[in-house]
């Protein structure tokens, strides 16, 4: 199935519906972006995590605005690592009361942690189960709100620059199902919730003969004044034409407390900007990822993170995290460092610091 034809056809449908109301608004342009500079120090166990270092985790610029009445657009690029990467590139029709149509490359609606922008995350890095989510893809999607409910559905192909005929569908309500036909091989892996290292203690390796991949999950969040609790559970089933078909699982739960009394903002099915100035936030998270099933020896890891955030204002904050990872069974792709046969454990830790600033 041709993804370009699907998106093109959806564009015609959306355009035809929009023509019922004449476009009057002038085109507008709003420039924005974000800068996130990190320092990470690793305390190794058996595997060399890469020592200490600095990086610009994200350096993004975007342009967004109105094209006409009920039509919006966004174009966003990231320049971190001295490379240019397209993140978002879409147009959006907002003229229907029950929902908005988005066409182009954008985040797929699955998973509270992934959908919450890095500008508003409580911790420096997302929980490990984010590796299960398809993230940004060239798509056609519908999303809307009804009272306290948020719903979304999309059909998507590959991300820009990686066209190999993949196809998938995604949806989100109280739970978020996802089906993908990668038309190729498949791999699931995750860092120990810090980004500077290239080591993935959990890694299935490349699985071939893929028929399809089904991911579903449950999420929940509770906010009461300065206190909040958030959690998710996901399972990813890799269906193959031959070989084992593993069920991969992961979950996390965390809590946060604004010592100075502020409250996290939640709207449209995700967390947004906290209106905080000269504010302090404490947070703690536990996450688990299990990539072991049948003969797939992708490893298991538990990660514990403690965070302290200081908000200068809603657009500038300083973040400090202590991260401890406990991989009972490191991915079978690693040889035992002492040369002995069999699986082994690894327990690295890290201290991470971030300066984060964004502007609209």
Count of CB atoms within 10 A of residue 276's CB?
22
Q: What is the pLDDT of residue 261?
A: 97
236-273 per-position pLDDT tens digit: 999 998 888 999 999 999 999 999 999 999 887 789 99
63 pairs with which residues across the strands?
31, 75
Q: Domain 3-359 falls in which CATH fold?
A: Porin (2.40.160)
Nearest in space to 279 (alpha carbons), one of 316, 310, 257, 256: 310
Distance of CA 83 to the CA centre of its chain: 20
Count of CB atoms within 10 A of residue 267's CB?
10
Count of CB atoms within 10 A of residue 76's CB?
21
Dihedral (C-alpha) 263, 192, 52, 197: value to the nearest 10 degrees?
-120
Which has more pLDDT, 35 or 24?
35
26-37 per-position pLDDT tens digit: 889 999 999 999
Asked if 42 and 49 count as a contact pair (C-beta separation under 8 A), the reply is: yes
* Domain boundaries along the sequence of the chain: 3-359
285-338 per-position pLDDT tens digit: 999 999 999 889 999 999 999 999 999 999 999 999 999 999 988 988 888 887
pTM: 0.85
């Amino acid at each position: 199935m041709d993804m370009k034809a699907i998106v093109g056809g959806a564009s015609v449908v959306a355009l035809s519906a929009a023509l019922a109301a004449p476009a009057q608004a002038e085109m507008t342009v709003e420039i924005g972006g974000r800068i996130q500079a990190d320092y990470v120090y690793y305390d190794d166990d058996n595997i060399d995590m890469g020592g200490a270092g600095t990086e610009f985790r994200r350096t993004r610029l975007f342009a967004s605005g109105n094209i006409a009445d009920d039509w919006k657009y966004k174009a966003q690029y990231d320049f971190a690592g001295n490379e240019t990467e397209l993140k978002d590139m879409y147009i959006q029709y907002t003229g229907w009361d029950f929902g908005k149509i988005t066409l182009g490359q954008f985040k797929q609606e699955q998973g509270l942690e992934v959908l919450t922008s890095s500008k508003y995350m409580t911790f420096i890095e997302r929980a490990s189960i984010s590796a299960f989510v398809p993230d940004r893809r060239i798509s056609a999607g519908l999303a809307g709100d009804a009272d306290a409910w948020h719903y979304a559905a999309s059909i998507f192909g590959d991300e820009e620059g990686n066209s190999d005929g993949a196809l998938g569908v995604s949806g989100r309500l109280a739970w978020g199902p996802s089906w993908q036909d990668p038309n190729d091989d498949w791999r699931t892996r995750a860092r120990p919730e810090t980004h500077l290292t290239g080591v993935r203690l959990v890694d299935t390796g490349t699985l071939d003969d893929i028929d399809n991949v089904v991911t579903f999950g449950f999420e929940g969040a509770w906010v009461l004044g300065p206190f909040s609790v958030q959690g998710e559970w996901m399972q990813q089933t890799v269906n193959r034409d031959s070989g084992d078909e593993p069920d991969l699982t992961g979950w996390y739960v965390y809590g946060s407390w604004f010592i100075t009394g502020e409250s996290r903002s939640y709207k449209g099915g995700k967390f947004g900007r906290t209106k905080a100035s000269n504010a302090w936030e404490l947070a703690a998270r536990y996450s688990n990822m299990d990539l072991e099933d049948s003969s797939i020896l992708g490893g298991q890891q538990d990660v514990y993170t403690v965070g302290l955030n200081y908000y200068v204002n809603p657009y500038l904050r300083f973040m400090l995290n202590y991260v401890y990872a406990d991989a009972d069974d490191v991915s079978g792709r690693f040889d035992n460092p002492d040369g002995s046969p069999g699986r082994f454990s690894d327990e690295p830790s890290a201290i991470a610091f971030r300066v984060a600033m964004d502007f609209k």
